[in-house]
Chain A
Amino acid sequence: QSALTQPASVSGSPGQSITISCTGSSSDVGRYRSVSWYQQHAGKAPKLIIYDVINRPSGVSNRFSGSKSGNTASLTISGLQAEDEADYYCTSYTGSSTLYVFGTGTKVTVL
C-alpha cells in the first residue's frame, strides 16, 4: 500500500487561505469517505482536525475544512494564522490487509 501523495510544503501569508491536497487511488481515497486530517506541531503528537472527509471535531477551529473529489482529498485552512504553522497529514481507510495509509505530509509555513 503506497503512501498518499501530499505536497511537501505549502506557504501563505497571515489571513490568506491555503489548500493541501492528498492524492490516493480508487482503492482508498476514491472508494471510502474515511479520510481524516491531522495537525502536528514540532515535537508534539498529531491532533485530529478533520474526520470522515468533512467533519470537524469539537474544539477545532472552523477555519479548517475538508473536501474530496475523486481520488483526491483536500484540506483548506482559511484566515491563516501563525499558530497554523505545522505539519499536516491525511489518512484513508483502505479495506486491505493494511487497513490505513497515511499521506506523505505537508509542512505549512506562515510567511
Chain B
Amino acid sequence: QVQLVQSGAEVKQPGSSVKVSCKASGGTFRSSAITWVRQAPGQGLEYMGGIIPLFGTANSAQKFQGRVTITADESTSTVYMELSSLRFEDMAIYYCAIGGEYCRGNSCRGYNWFDPWGQGTLVTVSS
C-alpha cells in the first residue's frame, strides 16, 4: 500500500510561487497516478491536476492552467506541485492523493478515485 508524506507548511507573499512535495513509499511509484486537490479554509475540495510519473506529462484543471506545474522525480519517488502568481484566495490546504486516471495518447493508467491521501500542506498567502 502506497503512503504519501507531504512537505511542511509554507507562508508566501502574493505574487510569489510555492512548491509542495509529496513523497510516495511502499508501492510502484512510476506507474501510480498522483492527483492534487486543495481545500480553502472552511470550503470544499477542488481538483487541481495530476500526473503519472511513467507518462511524465501532467493534466491540470482549466482553472489553474498556466499557473500550476506538476512534476515527478522518479529518483526520489516524489511528485511536486508548484503554484505561481499566488493570490490571497490561494490560501488553502493542498493534498496529494493516489488516484485519478491519466492518459498519454491512447494509453491510460490509474482509476477514477483517490486513495490514500497525504496529510495535507497548509499554504498561507500573506503580505
| B62 near A97: Cβ-Cβ < 8 Å | yes
B contact residues, total (Cβ < 8 Å): 27
Which residue from A3, A34, A45 sits with its C-beta under 8 Å from B44? A3
User: Can you pick out 26 interface pairs between chain A and chain B where the beta carbons lie within 8 Å of each other?
Assistant: A3-B44, A38-B45, A45-B118, A45-B119, A45-B120, A46-B45, A47-B117, A48-B113, A48-B116, A51-B111, A51-B112, A52-B113, A89-B44, A91-B113, A93-B112, A96-B62, A97-B62, A97-B65, A98-B62, A99-B100, A99-B101, A100-B47, A101-B47, A102-B44, A103-B44, A105-B45
Q: Considering the chains assembled together, what is the distance between the CA atoms of A48 and B62 in angstroms? A: 25
Q: Tell yes or no: B115 within 8 A of A by CB.
A: yes
Chain A residue numbers with a CB within 8 Å of B37 are 46, 102
Q: Tell yes or no: B114 within 8 A of A by CB.
A: yes
Interface centre among A3, A32, A38 (most CB of B within 10 A): A38
Q: Tell yes or no: B46 within 8 A of A by CB.
A: yes
Closest-by-CB residue of A relative to B93 is A45
A contact residues, total (Cβ < 8 Å): 26
Chain A positions 47 through 80: 1 when the CB is less than 8 Å from some CB of chain B, otherwise 0: 1100110000100000000000000000000000
A50 CB → nearest B CB, Å = 9
Chain B positions 60 through 93: 1 when the CB is less than 8 Å from some CB of chain A, otherwise 0: 0111010000000000000000000000000000
| A100 near B117: Cβ-Cβ < 8 Å | no
Which 4 interchain pairs have the tightest Cβ spacing? A34-B112, A48-B115, A51-B113, A36-B113
A91 CB → nearest B CB, Å = 7
**15 new A-B pairs (CB below 8 Å) besides A38-B114, A103-B44?**
A1-B62, A3-B44, A34-B112, A36-B112, A45-B117, A46-B95, A46-B114, A91-B45, A91-B113, A96-B62, A97-B62, A99-B47, A99-B100, A100-B35, A105-B45
